[in-house]
Amino acid sequence: MNIGEIARRAGVSRSTVSYVLSGKRSVSEATRQRIQSVIDELDYRPNASARALKEGRTRTLGLVIPPASQRLTDMQLGFVASVVEAAARHDLDVLLSPSGGDHDRSFERIVTGRRVDGVVLMEIRLADDRVTRLTKAGLPFVTIGRTAEPHGMSWIDIDYAGLIARCVQHLADLGHRHVALVNRSAELVAAGYGPSHRALAGFRAATAERGLTGVEVCCGDDTASGEACMDQLLATHPEVTAVATINEAALPGMQRALTEAGMSVPRDFSVTGVAAQHWAEDFRPPLTAADVPMVEMGAEAVSLLLESIAAPGAAPRHRLYTPPISLRSSTGPVRAS
């Protein structure tokens, strides 16, 4: 059933039916009631486009995915899934758009084409041109992550600085004196990727507070990079007895390198960090880690965005997640020399 059939049965034009559905123009009460009677008789349900026209909205949210990599990590995919699922519970669609480099045109179409009612922006840099662009355009948005100066914007984020500091404190309590931070890639750090810089700040603060020797290394987001990174760390810094990491995609490779080096976790070497729960539980032995609540964070990002869409003048809101460190089996007392 379509608008043409309704118009034919009601004896009016298609445009008149559209006016009744959208409310954009006034129609006589008698005509409106005649059209409504046909709609009720046929049990007509306007499609998404008609509903959007009537409401003055697209009923679509934009989700802008990472600008600095060609592939998504498992955690990033988790955020994508959580946002899509949360939007579906509100009967909303999600338009996925990459940004950065050759994909800038896609992001610009999201902004200028008004194809969406609002945007969830992922993987935020400390100075992020996309945030500036959305602010100037007046398009409602919420970020997963935050800039260096996030005032005036709605965001959710993980307290990477505080969590990595707590991981270091935990290692220090176990007697480790030489520890390393396995960060994300050098390219992301150079680009000003927020979590990398905040994790580094937390690591430096905690090692200084506890009088530890800290080693900082960057690592690509994949198994091979994790293995190469750990191999190099063991070769160049044999005094290191533990690592903290925010690079969950590198964990399988780090685990492989330790195994091939004949090192038992946690007897010979301890590993901890910030990761999605299933990555932590798949590590052998299970990883002592702050478990990232991806589902909850995605749902809250959508909720904050819908608030911003409904009340554009409302004060921005934010939330910094600080999940507890789940003590599992990958950390233990430093081995006596």
| pLDDT tens figures, 264-319 | 999 999 999 999 998 899 999 999 999 999 999 999 999 999 999 999 888 999 99
Predicted pLDDT of residue 103: 67
pLDDT band at 228 (very low <50, low <70, confident <90, very high): very high
Asked whether the predicted pLDDT for residue 63 surpasses 80, the reply is yes
Residues 6+ apart with CB under 8 A from 147: 124, 125, 126, 127, 128, 131, 153, 194
If one compares 197 and 68, the residue with the highest pLDDT of the two is 197
Residue 215 has pLDDT above 80, yes or no: yes
Residue 117, Cβ neighbours under 10 Å: how many?
22
Q: What pLDDT does 284 receive? A: 92
Tokens of 29: 């009460």
pLDDT of residue 236: 98
Q: Inform me whether the pLDDT recorded for 149 exceeds 80.
A: yes
Q: Does residue 2 have a pLDDT over 90? A: no
* Per-residue pLDDT, 19: 77
322, burial (CB in 10 Å: exposed 0-12, middle 13-18, buried 19+): exposed
Looking at residue 322, its pLDDT comes to: 97
Highest mean pLDDT among 55-59, 105-109, 304-308 belongs to: 304-308
| Residue 38: φ, ψ to 5° | -65, -45
CA–CA separation, 318 and 313 (whole Å): 15
Where does the pLDDT of residue 107 fall: very low under 50, low under 70, confident under 90, or very high at 90 and above?
confident
Residue 70 in this model has a pLDDT that exceeds 90: no
170 in the Ramachandran plot: left (φ > 0), alpha (ψ -120 to 50) or beta? alpha
Q: What pLDDT score does 42 carry?
A: 77
Q: Rounded distance, CA 106 to CA 64, Å?
A: 9
What is the residue-averaged pLDDT of the chain? 90
Global pTM value: 0.82
